[in-house]
Amino acid sequence: MRRDLATVLVEWQETWAPELIEREFDLSLVPWELNKVVTFAGCRRTGKTYLMFQLINELAKTAEKESIFYINFEDERLEKGIETLTELIPTIEELYGKKERLYLFLDEIQNVENWDSWVRRVNDSRKDVKLFLSGSSSKLSSREIPTSLRGRAITFEVFPLSFREFLKFKEFKIPERLEFSREKPELLNLLREYVLYGGFPEVVLTGDVRIKRMLVRDYFNTIIALDVVERYGIRNPEELRAFIRLLLNSEYSSLSKL
């Protein structure tokens, strides 16, 4: 048994998924009974992890808690070799016993080299194991998913909050007769905020405008650096940033000041 892996698994069972504001996600779309890997792909910071937690909390209403495990492969305690994945199920079974069905939620799995070969083997050979994976759009979208998993996976694209979800996060309920309601000015102010700063959950839940701007600027730079420049080998990243700023340039956009 790998001690670092066992530590992460036990820690998960002791802490469990956090309380969260639920996204609008149709759980009936999840192919529970089909032999399919479920993947969540999307831009960084759109809430893929918390959508997995939402699914975990729902699953825990009917499934045994010790049959559900979440692992984040950005955890520095875990080695990023294929051996960690190979030993995952045996370690769980040694710690908690063999379950009728095992649900594995593996976050940022693309950090593990050759992860797709393990996923294919487990999906094909272990009908008692259901896999849920998450990663950035550049790694796990339906177009980017490894060839070995084509036909074996169903991908859900995760986007920033819709305006309706944004209002839910703000705990604002639209009145029935909006046109004559005293709530209309507040709704318009929220709409301006949504247009200006967007629907990234962390940004939405941050009250300080200065922090909002810092977060949006950080997201902008990180997405450009990791998902575009690094991936496609852009030789002139500053020119790319200048071009994107030009596209986003607007007096209503905080990105124009990045």
CA-CA distance, 23 to 249, in Å (whole number)? 30
Q: From start to end of 147-216, where are the E strands?
A: 153-158
> pLDDT at residue 257 above 80?
no
Output the average pLDDT for the chain. Answer: 88
Chain-centroid distance of CA 175 in Å reads 32
**Pairing of β 68-72 and β 153-158:** unpaired
* Domains assigned to the chain: 3-158 (3.40.50.300), 163-257 (no CATH)
Kindly report the backbone phi and psi dihedral angles of residue 125, in degrees, each rounded to the nearest multiple of 5, phi listed first. Answer: -110, -20
> pLDDT at residue 234 above 80?
yes
3-state per-residue secondary structure call for 7-75: HHHHHHHHHCCCCCCCCCCCHHHCCCCCCCEEEEEECCCCCHHHHHHHHHHHHCCCCCHHHEEEEECCC
Looking at residue 33, its pLDDT comes to 87
Residue 134 in contact with residue 140, Cβ under 8 Å?
A: yes
- The alpha carbon dihedral of 60, 61, 62, 66 has a sign of positive
Q: Which range is least confidently modeled, 41-50, 172-181, 209-218?
A: 172-181
* pLDDT confidence bin for 60, thresholds 50/70/90: very high
Q: What is the pLDDT of residues 178-206, one digit of tens each?
A: 787 888 899 999 999 999 999 999 999 99
Looking at residue 135, its pLDDT comes to 78
To the nearest 10 degrees (0 to 180), the angle between helices 88-96 and 3-15 is: 60
Looking at residue 252, its pLDDT comes to 45
Chain-centroid distance of CA 177 in Å reads 36
Q: Which range is least confidently modeled, 222-226, 228-232, 238-242?
A: 228-232
Give me 217's structure tokens: 């600027």
**Which pTM value belongs to this model?**
0.85
Looking at residue 141, its pLDDT comes to 56
Q: What is the pLDDT of residues 18-43, one digit of tens each?
A: 989 999 999 889 998 889 999 998 88
Kindly report the backbone phi and psi dihedral angles of residue 221, in degrees, each rounded to the nearest multiple of 5, phi listed first. Answer: -65, -40
Looking at residue 139, its pLDDT comes to 57
Residues recorded for the chain: 258
Give me 1's structure tokens: 């048994």
Looking at residue 1, its pLDDT comes to 61
